[in-house]
Amino acid sequence: MLEPSRLRLINMGSARNATRLLNNLQDKGQEVTAAIHFEAEAYDVTHGKPMGRHFAGHGFLSAFARYTSDNAPVGYVRNAKLGQDFCNFIKGFQPDSSPNYIVSAKAGALKEVGCLFTPSPVNAAQAWQRELHGARSWSLCGVNHTLSSARAMDGLTELLAAPIQPWDAIICTSTASRAVIEKLFARQEEYLSRRLGATRFVRPQLPVIPLGVDCGAQAQRSSRRGEARSSLAIEPGDFVVLFLGRLSFHAKANPAPMYLALERLTRQHRVVLIECGWTANEPIAQAFAEARAKLCPTIRSIVLDGRVSETRNQAWAAADVFCSLSDNIQETFGLTPIEAMAAGLPVVVTDWDGYRDTVRNGLDGFAVPTIAAPPGVGQGLANRHALEVDNYDAYIGKASTAVAVDIDATTAAFERLASDPDLRRRMGANGAARAREVFDWKVIIKAYEALWRELAVLRNAGETAPSSEAMRGFWPARPDPFELFASFPSTGFSSQHVFTQAPGLSEAEVLDRLGLKIALVSASPEVSSTFLLEVWKQVGSQGATARDILARRPGTAPALMVRCLLWLAKLGLIRIGTHEEPYKDNSSVLLNNASF
């Protein structure tokens, strides 16, 4: 991860020149900060269906109010009412401050501030609006959240044809999200080069700065441990695992690997699972209940409403371990693992997207390996979404079926933590120290302000950027999700991976699992439980390589077969191993021209 204090200044000559320019700004009494684009909805966590971006936005703005070096923060708003809301919000956290605001009808006043920060990626409209006042008038700075939606991908690719400048920035919350943005930019540049002969492209800066957490508040929650466990009737010796966040098996984290791993743990430990969250609707809540009853029937399960602040506090205090096995391309950072670290809890997470930046495997907890389908498998999914055959939920849900989490490794991680209270304490202490050093909002706000100062240097020194048949089927903003998000999993699919039936399973048990709503079979018209059962049978108890399994069904699209194999692995119906022969990845040959 790029350290906030070491963000590189580029296209600005010597370091001495950069320092001189920054000193000149400060000598003139100009506090280099940013106006905060304020829309009440973006920072509100009190409505019925809060998302991760709402918690991140609220956390940022409340931290900015407390820790900014500017005693007179400026909001950028659509109207005076929102401006007053902004001022009230800031003063609620910093009563001695003197906030003010700029309405969009008088955007030219942003020249006096120097930078506009918005809690989402920079968009083309902002760049064009700035052109009315001159390219050097102010910098634009945003932050990424979900990158898998059509709107997000369109917005990013459109930037390359907009008057974006080198003194603009999109803060990437993880190295994985930066890789996604860079890939989208590269695809769009390739298209513009072939289509228009373009040879010069201007990108915004892409510094990596994580989201933050209020470490002090999180640490205080552990002091209520006895009270919280008593109120939930948790017995001494119970091993309590917490998942906290939105409960969505198609858009957040499929619970099957966690349920199956914890059920195995009950052979030697009394396990209590707390799921503190919320669902979008009652059918989803019922699907989770159905899956718990089937996959972890001997575990004591506690479901709490995570929208209630006091309830979240109770859940944090009662837990021994935090778990989040994210397997979805809509995730880019993951706020709850660093909240857990700040609360002194060891974590069990997937080796996936932003989690790999935050959790140090073996130090703060355990990062469980993941495997995802290779490029070529998901273009059909992308096309269905592009043609609006599938909505966004269906698109990311189907993509998640081809991401498998190592259930054996998850079980082993839980077993080590359940058996060793000292290990839990050491890992919890490690995570808390790391959270204070790297992820505390005091640190993050300083990193934001350092970035804004560096953008000011670029703005005052940099050069202004100038404002087919061969490409058939190439849509820069609609790539195969497994190409775009290839940086997310631990490893990619290989034709030499060996698949074996999980022992002790009957055909009836296989069909029972495939019939669960969380299996998402009913949401995928291209497959059926019967078809997946046949694939499971062809895998066999002796095991076979992916190449051999695909060869047994020459009439089935290889891309669909790869998805099915990983689908079955996700549900614990087959296991994935490596071949004894030297590794040679022939998946690209197998999947060539495959579609479904």
263-290 residue pLDDT tens: 999 999 999 999 999 999 999 999 999 9
Q: How many residues does the chain have?
A: 596
Mean pLDDT value across residues 304-325:
96
In sequence order, the 6+-apart residues with CB closer than 8 A to the CB of 81 are none
Half-sphere exposure of 531 (CA within 13 A, CB side): 15
Q: H or E stretch including 68?
A: none
Cα–Cα distance for residue pair 21/242, rounded to 1 Å: 50
| Of 86-100, 148-162, 468-482, minimum mean pLDDT range | 468-482
The DSSP symbol for 361 reads: B
Which whole number is the average pLDDT over 34-54?
Answer: 75
**In the chain, pLDDT over 90 holds for what percent of residues?**
79
> pTM for this one?
0.84
Q: How confident is the model at residue 556, as a pLDDT? A: 92
What would the DSSP string read from start to end of 83-145? HHHHHHHHHHH-TT---EEEEGGGGGGGGGT-EEE-SS---HHHHHHHHTT-TTS-EEEEE--
Q: What is the mean pLDDT of residues 15-24?
A: 39
Contact 565, 535 (CB under 8 A): yes
Nearest to 249, CA basis, from 81, 460, 403: 403
Q: How far is CA 19 from CA 28, 165, 315, 448, 454, in A?
A: 14, 21, 48, 18, 10
- Give the dihedral of Cα atoms 562, 566, 571, 573; nearest 10 deg: 70
CA atoms within 13 A on the CB side of 429: 5
| Per-residue pLDDT, 31 | 57
Q: Residue 186: is its pLDDT beyond 90?
A: yes
Q: Tokens 């698949």: give the residue.
A: 499
Q: Which tokens in the block code for residue 167? A: 């003194």
pLDDT reading at 595 higher than 90: no
Residue 300 CB-density burial (10 A; 0-12 exposed, 13-18 middle, 19+ buried): middle
User: Cα–Cα distance between 90 and 100 in angstroms, integer?
Assistant: 10
Per DSSP, the chain holds a count of helices (H) and strands (E) of 24, 18
Query: In this model, does residue 20 exceed pLDDT 50?
Result: no
Looking at residue 326, its pLDDT comes to 97
Report pLDDT digits (tens) over 455-467: 999 999 855 545 4
Residues near 239 by beta carbon (within 8 Å), at least 6 away in sequence? 265, 269, 270, 271, 272, 320, 321, 417, 418
Residue 24 has pLDDT above 90, yes or no: no
- Averaged pLDDT, 124-130: 91
Q: How confident is the model at residue 129 (pLDDT cuts 50, 70, 90)?
A: very high
**22: pLDDT strictly greater than 60:** no
Q: Side-chain half-sphere of 137: how many Cα atoms within 13 Å?
A: 18
What pLDDT, on a 0 to 100 scale, did the predictor assign at position 164? 94
- The better pLDDT of the pair 109, 56 is held by 109
**Three-state secondary structure call for residue 197:** coil
pLDDT tens profile 142-153: 999 899 999 999
Across the chain, mean pLDDT equals 89
- pLDDT score of 2: 36
pLDDT given for residue 578 in this prediction: 77
Residue 387 tokens read as 């043609």
* Chain segment 349-401, per-residue pLDDT in tens: 999 999 999 999 999 999 999 999 999 999 999 999 999 999 999 999 999 99
Cα–Cα distance between 160 and 520 in angstroms, integer?
37
pLDDT digits (tens, 9 = 90+) for 404-426: 999 999 999 999 999 999 999 99
pLDDT digits (tens, 9 = 90+) for 477-523: 888 899 999 999 999 999 999 999 999 999 999 999 999 999 999 98
The rounded percent of the chain whose pLDDT value lies above 70 is: 88
The whole-number pLDDT of residue 463 equals 59
